[in-house]
Amino acid sequence: MIRVESLTKVFRRPHTFSGPLGPLRTLLTRRYDERTAVDGVSFEISAGEIVGYLGPNGAGKSTTVKMLTGILTPTSGLIEVDGRVPWRDREANARAVGVVFGQRSQLWWDLPLIDSLRLVGDLYDVPAARFAGSLRRMCDLLGLDDFLQTPVRQLSLGQRMRGDLAAAMLYDPPILYLDEPTVGLDVMAKQAVREFIAETNRLGRTTVVLTTHDLADVEALCERIILIDKGRVLYDGGIDDLVTAYAPPRRLVVELADDETRTFEIAAGRPIPELIAQVAAEHPIRDLSIREPDLEGVITRIYAESER
Amino acid sequence: MAEVVRALRLYWRLQRAAMRGALQYRLNLVIGIAAGVAYQGSGFAFVWVVMHTFPAVGGWSLREIAFLYGMRLTAHALYVLPFSSLIGLDWLVREGELDRVLLRPLNPLVQIMAKRLGVGQLGDLLAGLVLLVVALPPLGPASILFCLAAVVGGALVEAAVSLALASLALRTWNTLGVRAFADDLFSKFGSYPMSVFGGAAQWALTFVLPVAFVAYVPASVLLDRTGELNVPAPVAYGSPLLGVALFALAYRIWSRQLRHYQSTGT
Amino acid sequence: MIRPLAGMARVGMRFQFAYRSDVIMSVVALVAQVFLLRMVWTSLYSGRESDPRGLTLEALLAYLSLANLQAFVTTPIIPMIAHFRIRTGTVFFDLSRPTGYLPQMAAFQAGHTAGGLLMLAPAIPVVLLVGTITPTEHPIGYAATLALGYVISVMMSLLICVIGFWTLETGAISLLYRLVSHFFAGTMVPLSFFPGALGVLADALPFKYMGYVPAAVYVGQLSGGQIGRAVAVEIGWIAALAGVLWAIWRRAHHKVVIQGG
């Protein structure tokens, strides 16, 4: 469904000079600042997958998604989405993808939600009968009925996000890009968004690419993740494999009598009772627990290693 | 062809939605129109006040100047009504709004144009048409046709310059100041007989920034004053076509720059 | 009392510098405007025997250049700032400071004007040259009428700022104000050319003190007792505007307190 090969994007912009005559010098000189945002990224995603595309801020996630959607033209490398080259065939590609930005709504701010959905239907040439069916399905899945007539600017963040998801899926695109769809939402709203994504993927075999900082989204939805940092792929594969491969050691956390908390790493192969006995001999223990490695810990460790 | 019809239909739908949104700020709208009339009115009021004391500007009578002014103003209004949202392009790029435009299966320029109708500029159109009709010299049907074509051509000249400059905003340049300046030159210098400004300035306003072709050159044709022009008479007769050519060129520049669009670079 | 106001003035000045590329373009536009007026008026005067309204072409060109420079420098920024701050609600920070809201705005405007003057400095010789300006015979009269005219201009824009508390929208109003004030300040035609009722109206409005009056003093069209009278009327306007501002501000402040509660 999506094929990316040695994808690279270098941003090039005129060097800005400071000082009172700075703007003039910027205009007249031909000096450029270059920054490589995506550096030889390759991956393949098949139809019906939900893939988490993860990385710290500035890793190149958004730039990749912008190239996948045809907003940006790659500096070099190959992209194919549903058999098309997005930047060359932008409009056809646009019909095949739905995009949700958590930070920015595509809905018309001053108009009732339903008007925005109708306009999206028009823009994507959805025939009236199919539109009615799609709208019904979206309303049922997302519970839009209560606020269809409310101007978007009066919607809560959670309601607005549900509206945005509906707008992105109204024309049944086979691919859905989600950029931080749960940012700023409360627990209930997050749950609703995740359920919708899972449902869409299950019913319509929609391929989903999800970028997020909330690893709970990833754990709930994705079987596979692609980790990038500084424009390069660090890991591509299943979540379970990742945790096994990179698993930091389990840890023993003990609370001491004087309210102090100490953490001990459990080296691989060492019997735990032995460790506990050793710790108990040296310290007065009040309570203890064992921490299993989690995704967050794994990913933090990978980032830290890529820093070195 | 079907593609054009679809674009027009969607333009109309989007525009109607934008209007419904804007109608929620009625007071703003009314004051906007009033400001438009006042702005253009104060420009012509200058001419009117001056010509109380002086019979002619560069050999043109008040009536002739009013006709020139009317042509310029109507052309300006025809340009600015559909293109008024282009003014906000710098902002659209900076806020990442252009990303969304590029995500939709419709020509980006059509989408930007449909973001807002310059209803405030209805004042310009009104003032321009009134001047044009009041000061219209006796013309035959062919001349009337030429006049209409010239006004549309003039609108396209202004639109072309504006679009070409605005497309630099796609490279994240700050174009607002330059565009405001070009607009200023069009509206201030476009309404006078160019011979007033002297050779060098007239040359620059004809061949560097084509202000003269918006109204002065075609008005000279209609007022039978082609002898004063610094371009040969056949060129003057063909002036409405220049707008079409310039706009086609500007659209090419726009498309090229769009390909180099860097988004917000994140 | 003085420290916070000086701070506000500095912010105003920095604001001017932050938009310097736009400002540079508008300075270029100013030079173009003066050039346009020069050419149009030279063409109008050509072939005339006597000088209309007793103004020689040289005096007229000097007048126009000065009036435009003045209008450029005195164009108020605070209605725009106030509009933005009322819309976004940040105006409550201004209101919560111990210094009054109107003095803060006035200080901001003063700083902004000073910044504008600094940036305009390189353009002044050009404008003076294009407008062929020679030294004046009434330097004190010019300075006095201009300074008082500036105070009137700031007070008028404060009035617009305050109106913003009711309309919540001053963008279009301030544009309208700018157009009307520039026209009636006589930046394109000296008021003495205004015919009939328009002339009477322009004479009665306070806008002429921002452009026409000081510039006319400079080129010698107003002199002696006329200068004294102009200064007296300007002081009268300032007193009247102060009264109006005070009365309206009290009601506006009341309104804000209610909205904020």
Whether C24 and A20 lie within 8 Å, measured CB to CB: no
Low-confidence ranges of chain A (pLDDT < 70): 14, 16-30, 247-248, 308
Q: Which residues contact A298 (CB under 8 A, 6 or more apart)?
A: A242, A243, A246, A247, A248
Whole-number pLDDT of residue B102: 92
Contacts of C76 by beta carbon, 8 Å cutoff, 6+ apart: C109, C153, C154, C156, C157, C160, C174, C178
Would strands A50-54 and A32-45 be described as parallel, antiparallel, or unpaired? unpaired
Rounded Cα–Cα distance for residues A191 and A143 (Å): 13
> pLDDT tens digits, chain C, 261 residues: what are they?
577 788 888 888 877 777 666 777 777 888 888 888 888 888 888 867 677 777 788 888 888 888 888 887 777 888 878 777 777 777 777 777 777 888 888 888 988 888 888 877 777 777 677 666 777 888 888 989 999 999 999 999 898 888 877 766 666 677 778 778 888 888 888 888 888 888 899 888 999 898 889 988 988 888 888 888 999 999 999 999 999 998 988 887 776 654 443
**Domain total in chain B:** 1
Least confident of B73-82, B89-98, B99-108, C226-235: B89-98
Q: Does residue A95 sit at the B interface (CB-CB below 8 Å)?
A: yes
In angstroms, the CA B122 to CA B74 distance is: 10
Q: What distance in Å separates residue B44's CA from the closest CA in chain C? A: 11
What is chain C's length?
261
Any A CB within 8 A of C20 CB: yes
Chain B neighbours, 3+ Cβ pairs < 8 A: A, C
Contact list in C for residue A20 (CB cut-off 8 A) is 20
**Would you list the domain boundaries of chain A?**
47-62+87-244, 249-292
Extract the tokens encoding B197.
């400004």
Measured in angstroms, the CA of A15 and the nearest CA of chain C are apart by: 16
Distance from CA of C15 to the nearest CA of A (A): 14
Q: Are A156 and A105 in contact (CB under 8 A)?
A: no
Q: Which of A13, A90, A99 is facing B172, going by the closest CB pair? A: A13
- Torsion sign (Cα): A109, A114, A115, A119: positive
> Measured between beta carbons, which residues in chain B are less than 8 angstroms from residue A124?
104-105
Mapping DSSP to helix (H, G, I), strand (E, B) and coil, where does residue C155 land? helix
Residue range B16-34: average pLDDT? 78
Alpha helices, H only, A155-206: 157-169, 187-204
pLDDT tens, position by position, C221-251: 888 888 889 999 999 999 999 999 989 888 8
Partners of residue A24 in chain B, C-beta under 8 Å:
none
Question: Given this model, what pLDDT does residue A308 score?
Answer: 65
Residue B181: is its pLDDT beyond 90?
Answer: no
Chain A residues with CB-CB distance to C21 below 8 A:
23
* pLDDT of the residue at B170: 85
B13, B105, B173 member nearest A95 (Cβ): B105
Quote the minimal CA–CA distance from C3 to chain A in Å.
27
B91 at C interface, C-beta within 8 A: no
Please report the pLDDT score of residue A23 as a whole number: 56
Q: Does C24 touch chain A (CB under 8 A)?
A: yes
B174 with C195: Cβ contact below 8 A: no
- Check CB contact under 8 Å for A123 and B24: no
Whether the CB-CB separation of C248 and C162 falls below 8 Å is answered with yes
With an 8 Å Cβ cutoff, is A111 touching chain B? yes
Whether C118 contacts chain A with CB within 8 A: no
- Using CA atoms in the order C95, C96, C100, C104, what is the torsion angle rounded to 10 degrees? -70
Mean pLDDT of B90-110: 89
Q: Which residues from chain A sit within 8 angstroms of residue B6, using beta carbons?
A: 125
Using a CB-CB distance cutoff of 8 angstroms, which residues of chain C are in contact with residue B176? 22
Q: How far apart are CA B219 and CA B151, in angstroms?
A: 10
- B107 inside domain: yes
Judged against a pLDDT cut of 90, whether residue B72 lies above it is answered with: yes
Is the complex ipTM more than 0.95? Answer: no
Q: What is the CATH number of domain A47-62+87-244?
A: 3.40.50.300
Q: Using a CB-CB distance cutoff of 8 angstroms, which residues of chain A are in contact with residue C20? A: 20, 23
> What is the Cα–Cα distance from B101 to B95, expressed in whole angstroms?
12
- Encoded amino acid at A245, one letter: A
Could you tell me if B120 and B35 are in contact, meaning their C-beta atoms sit under 8 angstroms apart?
yes
B8 at A interface, C-beta within 8 A: no
- C21 CB within 8 Å of a chain A CB: yes
Residues in chain A: 308
Q: How does DSSP assign C102-129, residue by residue?
A: HHHHHHHHHHHHHHHHHHHTTHHHHHHH
Domain of residue B19: give its range. 2-259
| Domain assignment of residue B103, yes or no | yes
pLDDT of residue C210: 87
Q: What are phi and psi of C99, to 5 degrees?
A: -85, 145
Q: List CB contacts (< 8 A) between B173 and chain A.
A: 14
- What is the C-alpha to C-alpha distance for residues A283 and A275, in angstroms, rounded to an integer? 12
- C160 neighbourhood in chain B, CB within 8 Å: none
**Which of residues 147 through 186 in chain B touch C, CB cutoff 8 A?**
174, 176-178, 180-181, 184-185
Q: How far is B110 from chain A (nearest CA, A)?
A: 12
Residue B266 within a domain: no
Q: What is the DSSP letter of A19?
A: S
- The chains in contact with chain A, meaning 3 or more Cβ pairs closer than 8 Å, are B, C
